[in-house]
Amino acid sequence: MTEAPRSFLDVTQSVTGRAWVDRLDAVAARNASAISQRSGLPDILARILAGRGVGIDEADTWLEPTLRALMPDPSTLTDMDALADRIARAIADNESIALFGDYDVDGACSCALITRYLHHFGLEPQVHIPDRIFEGYGPNVAAMDKLIDAGASLIITLDCGTTSDGPIAHARQRGVDVLVIDHHLSDHELAPATALVNPNRPDDISRLSYLCAAGVTFMVLVAVNRALRQRGDTGLPDLLQLLDLVALATICDVVPLTGLNRAFVVRGLEIARRGEKPGLAALALAARINGPLNPYHLGFLIGPRINAGGRIGDAALGTRLLAMDDEHQALAIAARLDELNSERQRIEVDAVEEACAAAEAEIGTGEGPPVLVLASANWHPGVVGLVAARLRERFERPSFAIALNPDGTGTGSGRSMPGVDLGSAVIEAVETGLLPKGGGHAMAAGISLRSGEIGMFRAFLAEKLGASVSRARAASALRIDAALTARGATIELLHGIERAGPFGSGNPSPVFAFPAHRARYPQIVGKGGHVSFTLTSDDGARLKAIAFRAAGTALGDMLMRDGDQTLHFAGSLSMDHYQGREQVQFRLTDIARPPR
């Protein structure tokens, strides 16, 4: 019998409507004590590890993830040997190679990885990143013809291609080999590629399904290095120097930060902090980042700027920037991406406002649909994924945002919540003929449809996912790792906590409760409607704090109206680097009134 979660601070309903529960049940609490005793770790760090399912014997590996310990033989991936041998032969024979990538960060990083690898051998591949609006996701016949007509004898698709039967069959008929490196979910009908490496293909037993495309691409390069070495080649590229690109994609694609991904990100951040790649350095400068690069910088400051090119500008800008070594060109492209990101933010604000109003009208005073499916002719196709993410965050349910075109077609993007497999539902909708095109993975999906099909798609999702959404929402209580005070939230404590990172999908940031504190000097700051304040305790200790996008919400209203009252606060800690000085910052997630 499963033990019911234990209440934390007796909070049964916070200002956001959630109960607060202890992340650790009785078994995990005993595990935390054992980890602390055996490893000599502080109690809070031991609680964080135990709360993420880390066993007593796994603590050291979790805190010090290494490629040597966590990366399996690349040959465990189905088709890997055939694919790696074909790339090795193309390099040895000095063939003309073309890359076809996706227009997001994962696709850009994957293309940049292969491009940089080929540059080592003096090869300059053609690179095609499709236009999101005019070409859509994945290979198309016209683009394949363009690459072949320009001389390509080998085409490699990256972060796409698994289900692109027609375009890949067309290229093969023209006598060109096509290799697919991907990670998206697929049905049993795989594209007729020369070789297809995808840990999510049905016959793959590698247990690496959690990798993003750049992670799979890195595994491919390890296998290619081995194949070239077997051919007698020496002076091969140092692949470890490419891990900053793998880390960037791993964080931005929101794949689980567990297993091999942890080693990719930890080692990749070390490489990124050296600032040796002009593209990343230029983006950090454009984003006005202070202090050493961390997962937040990659996911929320650098990643969106790369994505901006694919959303509303030139989709190939990100790949070119990450693959180049010219500092002056890198600064120019980074500045352009920064401009596009600002424009994207303006477009997004208007779309989100309209979408939230539509969602509130649809939900009304009741429970509303389990999955939001909203559409508008006013939305730019490049921001629908961001709109869906905002809807998912605000209304706590999977959401789709669809941009309608004048011809009656629509392009949409969906975002899900833990425990609800959106990608599989979309693939089933395509298989049954409900959607003409769609795909994705558990947490995100993309679709194409006609406006008249929206109602049927909405009904299909409600029937297919209703039960799993209900279970996921019922389990959405805020899980607290430990209680702290403003005085106890020190730089030393945060450095210790960061040893359990990087935090993100699959390894959530620790959530701390601050009992009986006050919010002083609240004020709305920034374009996103953030609320900054100072968290204070009765002993006079102060902690810099912020609630992101809280203005106009129940959370923000309580801060502005009742912050000077004694309240319970919950959120995460981060390091703020201001004028070269480290300072702990509290990021608010929730507030509760102390039970009377």
Residue in this structure with the two tokens 């706590």, named with its chain if needed = 396
Q: In what order do the strands lie in the sheet with 444-450?
A: 372-376, 399-404, 409-415, 444-450, 437-441
Contact 80, 219 (CB under 8 A): yes
Domain that residue 381 falls in? 367-474
Mean pLDDT for all residues in the chain: 93
What is the rounded end-to-end Cα distance, in angstroms, of the chain?
A: 32
Q: Count the domains in the chain.
A: 3
503 and 441 within one domain = no
* pLDDT at position 27 over 80: yes
Mean local confidence (pLDDT), 294-314:
92
For 227-311, where are the E strands, in sequence order? none
261 and 218 within one domain = yes
* pLDDT at position 157 over 90: yes
C-alpha angle with apex 132: 131 to 135, nearest 5 degrees? 60
Helices (H) and strands (E) in the chain, counts: 21, 18
SS3 of residue 44 by DSSP:
helix
Q: What is the rounded distance in angstroms from the CA atom of residue 362 to the CA atom of residue 319?
A: 40
Mean local confidence (pLDDT), 167-195:
93
- The DSSP H or E segment spanning 324 is none
- Residue 242 in tokens: 């490419």
Closest by CA position to 217, among listed 98, 61, 87, 68: 87
* pLDDT at position 187 over 70: no
Q: What is the CATH number of the domain that holds 121?
A: 3.90.1640.30
551 and 458 within one domain = no
- Residue 441 in tokens: 């993975």
pLDDT tens column, 383-401: 999 999 999 988 989 999 9
- Of 293, 323, 339, the residue that ends a domain is 339
Q: What is the rounded distance in angstroms from the CA atom of residue 223 to the CA atom of residue 209?
A: 18
Lowest mean pLDDT among 3-7, 13-17, 94-98, 387-391: 3-7
Contact 109, 214 (CB under 8 A): yes
What is the pLDDT confidence band of residue 295, given thresholds at 50, 70 and 90? very high
pLDDT tens column, 411-423: 999 999 988 999 9
What's the Cα-to-Cα distance from 594 to each of 20, 121, 520, 525, 550, rounded to whole Å?
12, 65, 18, 28, 21
| Per-residue DSSP letter, 507 | B
pLDDT of residue 3: 63
pLDDT tens column, 194-213: 999 999 999 999 999 999 99
Residue 12: count of CB within 10 angstroms of its CB: 12
Q: Which amino acid is at 574?
A: S
Mean local confidence (pLDDT), 37-44:
93
- Of 474, 496, 527, the residue that ends a domain is 474
Contact 524, 533 (CB under 8 A): no
281 and 175 within one domain = yes
Residue 34 β-bridge partners: none
What is the pLDDT confidence band of residue 469, given thresholds at 50, 70 and 90? very high
Q: What is the rounded distance in angstroms from the CA atom of residue 146 to the CA atom of residue 239?
A: 31
Residue 101 β-bridge partners: 158
Q: Which amino acid is at 307?
A: N
390 and 257 within one domain = no
Mean local confidence (pLDDT), 19-48:
94
* pLDDT at position 268 over 60: yes
Inside any domain, residue 47: no
pLDDT of residue 188: 65
pLDDT tens column, 312-340: 888 899 999 999 999 999 999 999 999 99
Mean local confidence (pLDDT), 141-163:
97
389 and 276 within one domain = no
147 and 127 within one domain = yes
Inside any domain, residue 401: yes
Lowest mean pLDDT among 117-131, 333-347, 464-478: 464-478
* pLDDT at position 132 over 90: no
What is the pLDDT confidence band of residue 45, given thresholds at 50, 70 and 90? very high
As a whole-number percent, the residues of the chain with pLDDT over 90 amount to: 84
Inside any domain, residue 349: no
- Of 339, 359, 383, the residue that ends a domain is 339
- DSSP secondary structure string, 66-77? -HHHH---GGGS
Mean local confidence (pLDDT), 460-471:
94
- Residue 312 in tokens: 């509303």
pLDDT of residue 290: 85
Q: What is the CATH number of the domain that holds 530?
A: 2.40.50.460
Q: What is the rounded distance in angstroms from the CA atom of residue 343 to the CA atom of residue 340?
A: 5
Residue in this structure with the two tokens 């990538």, named with its chain if needed = 101
pLDDT of residue 1: 44
C-alpha angle with apex 173: 168 to 179, nearest 5 degrees? 40
311 and 208 within one domain = yes
535 and 422 within one domain = no
Q: What is the rounded distance in angstroms from the CA atom of residue 438 to the CA atom of residue 441?
A: 11
Q: What is the CATH number of the domain that holds 388?
A: 3.10.310.30
pTM: 0.89
464 and 488 within one domain = no
What is the pLDDT confidence band of residue 527, given thresholds at 50, 70 and 90? confident
What is the pLDDT confidence band of residue 475, given thresholds at 50, 70 and 90? confident
Lowest mean pLDDT among 100-109, 177-186, 348-357, 523-532: 523-532
Q: What is the rounded distance in angstroms from the CA atom of residue 314 to the CA atom of residue 316?
A: 6
Closest by CA position to 17, among listed 396, 387, 360: 396
pLDDT of residue 596: 77
* pLDDT at position 20 over 80: yes
Range among 2-6, 133-137, 424-428 with highest mean pLDDT value: 424-428
252 and 379 within one domain = no
- Residue 593 in tokens: 């009134």
Taking only Cα atoms into account, the Rg of the chain, rounded to an integer number of angstroms, comes to 24
Inside any domain, residue 360: no
Residue in this structure with the two tokens 């049964």, named with its chain if needed = 12
